[in-house]
Each structure stands twice: as structure tokens, then as C-alpha cells.
Amino acid sequence: MSHLSITQLNNLERLLDEHELAAQAQIHAEAGRRVDEPFAELTGDVTDLGDEASADVMVDIDNAMMGLQLAELNDIAAARKRIKDQCYGICIDCEAEIEYPRLQAYPTAKRCTSCQNLRERTYASVKHTKF
Ligand SMILES: [Zn+2]
């Protein structure tokens, strides 16, 4: 069960809504500049697609910004699913409770601060290691 209060959860869901609107607005603006692709195909229920389907969508997206926004929409959809499954705010690595301030800053956060730092350090060291 979530360590977050109903009020906190409501606030975070509102933040997810805001992030979603912002991402959709960016995609909309980007799609408006692209005359060769129908807008509906780019944005139609992206958040409802499974991983496989959105991967297909991603292949067609050559614009980095568009890709980032679509990734954001996927993260938001995943966060909403975790809320529904009542595992939102729980670190996927160590199962610790993710601090509310961290969730406020990153409502789609999947890891607690220490696991995220560890992960970033691990990636950073992998990047610098030459085999
Ligand atoms: Zn953790």
C-alpha cells in the first residue's frame, strides 16, 4: 500500500496531468510543422499503447524532441498504471518508499534517490570503461 496520503496522491496525479498536457502541446506544435504526417497518427492515444506499439511509433519519429515528448507520455502512462496498481512511489529497485518531494519534482520517478544516483553512477562508469 502507498505511503502517500490521498491529498499527496491527488497532487501528484494533477502534476502528471500537467506534464501530459505540456508534452502533448509540444508534440502538437511539432506536428503542426510537419505537413507530411497526419497529426492523428502521431498523437492518437499514444498513452494507451503498449510498449511494443509505442516502439513502432517511435521508429517513425525522427525528431528528437518528439521522441522525448512521446517517452514522457509513456512514463506518465506508466506512472498512472502504478497508481492504479497501488505500487506508485515505491522504488522499483529496492522497494523503498520514494520521498514525496522527489515525486513532486519528478512525478514519473520509478526509483528512490539513492537507487537513481547509484544507477547514474553505474552508467557513468560504464561509459568511461573501455574494454
Ligand atoms: Zn531504491
**Residue 14: what pLDDT?**
98
pLDDT in tens, 85-120: 999 999 999 999 999 999 999 999 999 999 999 999
Residues 6 or more apart from 91 whose CB is under 8 A from it? 97, 98, 110, 111, 112, 115
CA of 17 to the centre of ligand 1 (A): 25
Q: Angle between the 51-60 and 64-84 helix axes, to the nearest 10 degrees? A: 170
Ion ligand 1 nearby residues (CB, 5 A): 91, 93-94, 96, 112, 115
Show me where the domains of the chain are located: 6-128
Q: Could you report how far apart the first and last alpha carbons of the chain are, in Å?
A: 44
Distance 89 CA to ligand 1 centre (A): 10
**Residues near 76 by beta carbon (within 8 Å), at least 6 away in sequence:** 16, 19, 20, 23, 47, 107, 108
Instruction: Choose the CATH number for 6-128 among 3.40.640.10, 1.20.120.910, 3.30.70.100, 3.20.20.80.
Output: 1.20.120.910
Distance between Cα 109 and ligand 1 center (Å): 11
The reply to whether the predicted model has a pTM over 0.75 is: no
Do 61 and 72 contact (CB within 8 A), yes or no? no
- For the chain, residues with pLDDT lower than 70 are 1-2, 34-63, 125-131
